[in-house]
Amino acid sequence: MLEPPRTIPAHLADLQYALGIGDRQIQKLRKEYNLDGSSIIVQIKRGEYDLLQSVCGYLTYQRDTIERKTKTDDNGDTINPAVETALLKRTQRFKLELEIEEERKRLVDVNDVRTSWLEIISLLNSFIDALPGRLSGELASELDVDTAHIYDILLGESIQIRESIAKRLTAIGHHSGDGESSQTTP
């Protein structure tokens, strides 16, 4: 800190004028210290301040504030907080866009889902339709009953199962509505 050669007393109004700051700011700075431990604003007595020491203290305070705000990176280059903030926001936006794109990749087109379900239902129907023919011969020989009679019983049961499944799928279709979006999550 610059050491003033002597003390010059000044009233609060004179100090306000010299520093270009208000009464509240002076009162606040009177209670604070510079990084070197010296007072920022030096009060001699009530309403009277040391003009030289206060101006030197205030200039040191301003220099310290600028040094604290001006940071350098590992290479010694000055870091501009506004540029760094903009870079951070841009990076955060880019990260969010990547996350959204990943979510889009996970979406499945509703038409693809419908096609898959129709294939599954078709396969299920073919298995159910094949059951009476496959099992009626085996059961007839085991139970010593007419093959046609067992075939009719199994066919009736398979028809009831398919009708029950159709009703449940129709109910599910009504719950999902016809106006759904063109994509869904798996």
Last residue of a domain, one of 21, 47, 69: 69
- Same structural domain, 51 and 34: yes
pLDDT at 181: 46
Answer yes or no: are the C-beta atoms of 125 and 162 closer than 8 Å.
Answer: yes
Residues 83 and 124 in one domain: no
What distance in Å separates the CA atoms of residue 117 and residue 113, rounded to the nearest whole number? 6
Total number of domains in the chain:
3
Please check whether residues 112 and 179 belong to one and the same domain: yes
Tell me, rounded to whole angstroms, the distance of Cα 105 from its chain centroid.
Answer: 18
Determine the structural domain holding residue 96 and report its residue range. 72-105
**pLDDT tens-place string over residues 130-162:** 888 888 888 888 888 888 888 888 889 888 988
81-134 residue pLDDT tens: 777 888 889 999 999 999 999 888 888 888 888 888 889 888 888 888 888 888
Q: Clarify whether residues 97 and 157 are in a common domain.
A: no
